[in-house]
Amino acid sequence: MELLFERSRSGRSLINIPAAAVGDYQLPEQFARRSPLDLPAVAEVDISRHYTELSHHVHGVNCGFYPLGSCTMKYNPKLSEEVAVLPEFTQIHPLQPAHTVKGCLEVLGLAQQYLCEITGMDAMSFQPAAGAHGEFTGLLLIKAYHHSRGEGAQRTKVIVPDSAHGTNPASATMNGYTTVNVPSNADGGVDLDALRAAVGPDTAALMLTNPNTLGIFDKNILEITKIVHQAGGLVYYDGANLNAVMGMVRPGDMGFDVVHLNIHKTFGTPHGGGGPGSGPCGCKAFLAPFLPKDQIQRTADGYCLSQPGQSVGRVRSYYGNFLVVVKALTYLLLLGADGIREAAQGSVLNANYMKTRLADVYQAPYPGFCMHEFVLSLEQLHHDTGVSALDVAKALMDNGIHPPTMYFPQIVHEALMIEPTETESKETLDRAIQVFLDIYHTAVTDAESLHQAPLHTTVRRLDETRAARNPILVYAPKKD
């Protein structure tokens, strides 16, 4: 499709405003631009059609099923959006005196209280803007803690299971730690013997996602956190999969010391497209003195800002993405304690329904019950027919379904990682299951046609190598 710049015709404009009754104001020479401003000249109707057409070229939760594993792409109530645009929340400035924004402080205070209750933590910072940022902040706390005990120089290693999300080792490296990988056992959990062999006086922390990216809840979790604590290390909870367990079990009770949450996955904020997120970092009381500056504290007459004594400093400006926290609090109040628990149960039920129906045909490398997501391996299908996980993903797009997460976790070959979420109806799941089964049938009978998919999308197969090596990130106007 044409870009706005290409649609531009000189002289066209958005709206015809009557000529001003006052004369033009001339900017002082030093502020005036040297060359004309190169903006597209487009009529309002054309600009409206342009953006509407663009919106038809993407797939979002509002278009159809979006089972992107590990991302919790669920439908989020529109009410949260309405609350977040109330002028009382948008028409404020972060430098306003605290006593003029008491309601906003209460939002942060209440969200902190509820999310601490759900996670079993004692304090929380809303500064981190995303999950990875929360991981980085959590490891800063852990580092500050070890330093405060004189063990900072000695504890240089962070242990990460081989099923971990890539941000875990990245956050550890960003904090100057060396990562140590521990393998998974046959059940998809942490191999306890390998963990015992890996921990020692150089262990700073273990980072763990539970349920993990295979959709498996590690039944040995109490033993795992004990092994790390006995070695003097701390245990970090990657909360990206909290959707499966919120209101059921709490990371704090599993023995975790620090958590991050992905509000944009679990608590009512749409994500994808790089929109604002929030990755609050929560911790047990003994780590609270190290939290980023500007904590929200409850007082006799409301909430105030406080500065933790041994703070690691700021990790972002002001209070993080405040309006995302407004949406999270709306979601929490809307669902209540029962609703939060039911959402978790629904996500597990939906995943098991799909897994059970698909595992008869596709192969599930970890059989049995799963939590909120499950992984299929198309290794055998690929071997027998030449149809890969990528081919199946492309064929799903032709059927109005966003592909699942592919080729992750890396311990499963030809992986498709499916997370239906609790917000999908049985009819939607049944339709998606039928599409998966039909594609399998096509793979066996007409493999070649799947190598051609997708046939009905705006763009077909992209040259991914070229896109990665020679990305075009800036619009270059055509010279005429």
Ligand X SMILES: *Cc1c(COP(=O)(O)O)cnc(C)c1O
Taking the complex as a whole, the smallest distance from the CB of residue 129 to ligand X amounts, in Å, to 8
Output 130 or 376, the one with its CB closest to ligand X.
130
Beta strand spans in 126-187 (E): 157-161, 178-182
As a whole number of angstroms, the distance between CA 293 and CA 385 comes to: 57
State phi, psi for 181 to the nearest 5 degrees.
-85, 135
Output 68 or 231, the one with its CB closest to ligand X.
68
Does 279 participate in binding ligand X (rule CB under 6 A)? yes
Taking the complex as a whole, the smallest distance from the CB of residue 164 to ligand X amounts, in Å, to 7
Tell me, residue by residue from 293 to 332, as one string, x for binding to ligand X by CB under 6 A and - for no binding: ----------------------------------------
Taking the complex as a whole, the smallest distance from the CB of residue 435 to ligand X amounts, in Å, to 24
Taking the complex as a whole, the smallest distance from the CB of residue 60 to ligand X amounts, in Å, to 17
| Binding residue count for ligand X, defined by CB under 6 A | 13
Does 261 participate in binding ligand X (rule CB under 6 A)? no
Q: Which residues pair with 101 in a beta bridge?
A: none
Nearest in space to 76 (alpha carbons), one of 324, 320, 345:
324
Structure tokens at 467: 């896109």
Type and span of the H or E element at 229? helix 221-230
Taking the complex as a whole, the smallest distance from the CB of residue 207 to ligand X amounts, in Å, to 9
Structure tokens at 158: 């962070």
The alpha-carbon radius of gyration of the chain (Å, integer) is 25
Taking the complex as a whole, the smallest distance from the CB of residue 135 to ligand X amounts, in Å, to 7
As a whole number of angstroms, the distance between CA 199 and CA 210 comes to: 19
Structure tokens at 120: 């079993």
Matching residue, tokens 């995302």: 324
Q: Pick out residues in 115-154 that bind ligand X (CB under 6 A).
A: 130-132
Print the SS3 string covering 269-311: CCCCCCCCCCCCEEECHHHHHHCCCCEEEEECCEEEEECCCCC
Q: Which of 238, 373, 414, 424 binds ligand X (CB under 6 A)?
A: 238
As a whole number of angstroms, the distance between CA 238 and CA 219 comes to: 17
Taking the complex as a whole, the smallest distance from the CB of residue 359 to ligand X amounts, in Å, to 23
Burial 144-168 (b: 16+ CB within 10 A, else e): bbbeeeeeeeebebbbbbebbbebb
Q: Which of 277, 282, 289, 404 binds ligand X (CB under 6 A)?
A: 277
As a whole number of angstroms, the distance between CA 454 and CA 456 comes to: 6
DSSP conformation letters of 384-446:
HH---HHHHHHHHHHTT-PPPEES-STTSTTEEEE---TTS-HHHHHHHHHHHHHHHHHHHH-
As a whole number of angstroms, the distance between CA 124 and CA 108 comes to: 10
Structure tokens at 377: 């391996």
Q: Which of 80, 112, 137, 167 binds ligand X (CB under 6 A)?
A: 167
Output 208 or 378, the one with its CB closest to ligand X.
208
Output 209 or 399, the one with its CB closest to ligand X.
209
Tell me, residue by residue from 207 to 226, as one string, x for binding to ligand X by CB under 6 A and - for no binding: --x---x-------------
Output 112 or 262, the one with its CB closest to ligand X.
262
Taking the complex as a whole, the smallest distance from the CB of residue 209 to ligand X amounts, in Å, to 5
Taking the complex as a whole, the smallest distance from the CB of residue 396 to ligand X amounts, in Å, to 20
Does 240 participate in binding ligand X (rule CB under 6 A)? yes
Output 80 or 269, the one with its CB closest to ligand X.
269
Identity of the amino acid at 236: Y
Tell me, residue by residue from 46 to 85, as one string, x for binding to ligand X by CB under 6 A and - for no binding: ------------------------x---------------
Q: Which of 112, 127, 262, 423 binds ligand X (CB under 6 A)?
A: 262
Output 211 or 289, the one with its CB closest to ligand X.
211
CB atoms within 10 A of CB 365: 15
Output 208 or 354, the one with its CB closest to ligand X.
208
Q: Which of 165, 250, 355, 382 binds ligand X (CB under 6 A)?
A: 165
Output 167 or 175, the one with its CB closest to ligand X.
167
Q: Pick out residues in 22-41 that bind ligand X (CB under 6 A).
A: none
Output 5 or 407, the one with its CB closest to ligand X.
407
Output 41 or 170, the one with its CB closest to ligand X.
170
Q: Measured at CB, which residue is nearest to ligand X?
A: 131
Does 270 participate in binding ligand X (rule CB under 6 A)? no
Q: Pick out residues in 420-449 that bind ligand X (CB under 6 A).
A: none
Print the SS3 string covering 318-387: CCCCHHHHHHHHHHHHHHHHHHHHHHHHHHHHHHHHHHHHHCCCCECCCCCCCCCCEEEECHHHHHHHCC
Q: Pick out residues in 191-210 that bind ligand X (CB under 6 A).
A: 209
Q: Which residues bind ligand X (CB under 6 A)?
A: 70, 130-132, 165, 167, 209, 213, 238, 240, 262, 277, 279
